[in-house]
Structure 1
Amino acid sequence: MASKVKKSKSKRGTTRLREGIKKKVAAHNRKQRKLSKKDPTWKSRHPRDPGIPSSFPFKDKILEDIEERRRIDTELKAQRREERRQALVNAGETNAEAIEAQLDQEEKHDNSTRLAALLESARAAADEFDSDEDDDDDEDEMDTEDVEGVIDIEIEDNDSKDSSRKAFDKIFKAVVDRSDVILYVLDSRDPEGTRSRQVEQAVLAKPDKRLLFVLNKIDLVPSNVLKQWHSALKQSFPTLPLAADKAASNAVTFVHKGLTQQSTASALLQALKAYAAKSNLKRSITVGVVGYPNVGKSSVINALLSRHGGSRRACPVGAQAGVTTTIRQVKIDNKLSVLDSPGIVFPAVETAKKGTAPVDEQSRLVLLNALPPKQIDDPVPAVSLLLKRISKNAELRDRLMAVYKLTPLNDSSFNSLVTDFLVQIARKKGRLGKGGIPDLKGAAHAVIVDWRDGRIPGWTLPDADALEPKIPENKSDLVISASGPKEEKVIVTEWAQEFSLDGLWDGNFGGDDNEDVEMN
């Protein structure tokens, strides 16, 4: 008898069964979440700083050191603010609210300076990388209302000195041709080193051009040095002192009574406006700003713009050379516009005749802050040149020893002195290699950065014959003749009258009561 085949049972479940399973799963998940919250080993999804483990030895001492450093930083910040407040009071500022507002602005500027410099450096690197693909990159454009336009003349990033020389010459000629007045910005610490006779001859060759010396960074030199350089330079061209921007937070600064950042920038702006009014031109005058790299050309333009009521920085600035790479035209008002230009490094005629070695020339440019860090092959020769200059002045030598708190150096020979100096700097700044061997190049680079920022005080003095008055009874005898075919003579005193500079700042550089304010 054949067996009866059973019908296969369907695997299809009922809706009630499926919904019941879903509810049980949801209830199980809720229970697991509650238990996980009660679990002491529960970890957040977001990474957290574990801090110092409780079992770590000397944890209490480490926490105390951290708290002590925090307290010291707070006290130093308050001390610097009080010193700056006292300096403003000594400089003639009497409005308490204005002082507090300026102090708040300076603190905000200190916090943003390093980030701004890093941002500008990153932008420059990005522009350099994308220059072959797109010459009109959006990051090159300044989104401010004060920028009227940018002239598309860029410096080629080429290792060849000849091509770089041609690019700089092309930009310099373009600035001179487009400008009515040339502001030649000099570093107050070494005006003669940042001065080139080729610039002066190029301007004097055109009778319709005017040249003004601008002594920038006056807060990095004492009053007696500033007086001597002002007296020497104004024998050649009208000269104005200027503190275009605030020095670095750790710089050693000098307060000159009557020469504040606001007063000097206002005097320069009024001088340019006076020339614009006396020139009787039916158009706005154009002022070209030239000078060595990192002397503060862009800061001069920003200072002029701020005194005219501008709230933004039209020109990017940075502590290292090479931030400005194009000619940028900035409109101050309907009567005045300014051209910002990249730094120009002219070959030194005097050193070329003597056959100076390339290493010595590079060291000279490094101390002038005219080379970006990537072009400094070896900073040790530059430090050697710096020590050679400082050793000639007992005051500067004592200041250098006090800045780094050094022990007496081995002066058996100059090379031994340089080596001992770099070894002590490397140990104090932690620039050590494997086995605790001092990194001399790293220490030399740190010294160069401190020199650039003004932490190491240093300056040069003019020659004695340059300080002798050269104004005879007949003022028409005081002339400067342009080299070349032109035989016209330019009377410097007449230029000073055109800019209304007669008697300006004479004998008004502070006195024995000027204060040295050290910001560490």
Structure 2
Amino acid sequence: MIVGMPNVGKSSLLNALRKEGVGKGKAAYTGAQPGITRKIATGVKIIEGTDGNEGVYLLDTPGVFVPYVPDSEAMLKLALCGSVKDTIVAPTTLADYLLYHVNKVEPGLYSEYLPPTNDIMLLLEAIARKTGRLQKGGTPDTEAVALWMIQRWRNGHWGRFVLDNVTEDALEMKKSEERGLAPSMNQARKADKEARRMKSKQRNIASG
């Protein structure tokens, strides 16, 4: 069974293993948006059987999303990577966050449209005019350009870099931050329920 976050390539992995193992084409639908796989599929053979064995089968599954996203930046990263639908976070907001990371890595990636800038609207308007993505009256279609810009990055055309700082010190700092996070409402309810259960148990012991 292949399990993971939405839109991280589970179905693509299954198809690749099937092609490599048994030489057959796609068995699972894939797409650029999360939610293509909506239910657990039937087993797909990825290795032929030998000596009477049936071989190896894999099950494709829908994406499993975390129940609680700890902070807004984590949600931006998930949205930018395509783990949530593009309609959840405004495209211009995602493009602005992407520009922040591009500027840290290589501002020259968009030099054909504009010199290095921190103004996302200025960049989106420049790209719109350069690529002809204009609305009626010649107004730049900034939302369409933002989606185009995001997709270009996802396809590897705007640099290949990760959004997290994966140094050992950064990972330790992130762990420390997460340990200090306030619990979610669901976690708080569970903790309260457990505390009441323990208090009731202690009363029963005392009265017994």
* TM-score calculated relative to the size of structure 1: 0.29
Q: What corresponds to 1:431 in structure 2?
A: 133
**Quick one: higher RCO (CA 8 Å, sep 6+), 1 or 2?**
1
2:59 pairs with 1:339 = yes
2:171 pairs with 1:464 = no
Gaps of 5+ in 1: 1-287, 468-520
Tell me how far apart the structure 2 counterparts of residues 392 and 418 of structure 1 sit (CA, whole Å). 14
Question: SS state of the match for residue 143, structure 2?
Answer: helix
Report the alpha carbon displacement of residue 291 of structure 1 after superposing the two structures with TM. 1.6
Choose the corresponding residue for 1:421, options 123, 126, 139: 123
Instruction: Give 1:436's aligned amino acid.
Output: G
Gaps of 5+ in 2: 49-53, 172-208
Report the alpha carbon displacement of residue 349 of structure 1 after superposing the two structures with TM. 5.1
Report the alpha carbon displacement of residue 304 of structure 1 after superposing the two structures with TM. 1.4
2:109 pairs with 1:389 = no
Question: SS state of the match for residue 107, structure 2?
Answer: helix
Instruction: Give 1:330's aligned amino acid.
Output: V
Give the conservation status (yes or no) of the 8 Å contact 1:319–1:453. no
Report the alpha carbon displacement of residue 462 of structure 1 after superposing the two structures with TM. 1.2
Give the conservation status (yes or no) of the 8 Å contact 1:330–1:337. yes
Tell me how far apart the structure 1 counterparts of residues 141 and 26 of structure 2 sit (CA, whole Å). 39
The structure with more strand, counted as a fraction of residues: 1
Report the alpha carbon displacement of residue 338 of structure 1 after superposing the two structures with TM. 0.9
Report the alpha carbon displacement of residue 361 of structure 1 after superposing the two structures with TM. 5.7
Tell me how far apart the structure 2 counterparts of residues 362 and 297 of structure 1 sit (CA, whole Å). 20
* TM-score calculated relative to the size of structure 2: 0.68
- The alignment's C-alpha RMSD in Å is 2.6
Tell me how far apart the structure 1 counterparts of residues 35 and 69 of structure 2 sit (CA, whole Å). 23
CA distance change for structure 1 residues 465 and 365 in 2, over 3 Å: closer, same or farther? Answer: closer
Report the alpha carbon displacement of residue 310 of structure 1 after superposing the two structures with TM. 3.0
Give the conservation status (yes or no) of the 8 Å contact 1:363–1:379. no
Instruction: Give 2:44's aligned amino acid.
Output: V
Question: SS state of the match for residue 22, structure 2?
Answer: coil
Q: What corresponds to 1:455 in structure 2?
A: 157
Deviations 1:243-267 (A, max 9, x none): xxxxxxxxxxxxxxxxxxxxxxxxx
CA distance change for structure 1 residues 454 and 348 in 2, over 3 Å: closer, same or farther? Answer: farther
Tell me how far apart the structure 1 counterparts of residues 114 and 69 of structure 2 sit (CA, whole Å). 40
Report the alpha carbon displacement of residue 406 of structure 1 after superposing the two structures with TM. 2.0
Q: How does 1:345-364 map to 2 (within 5 A)?
A: 345-347=65-67, 350-351=70-71, 356=72, 362-364=75-77
Give the conservation status (yes or no) of the 8 Å contact 2:114–2:123. no
Sequence identity of aligned pairs in percent?
36
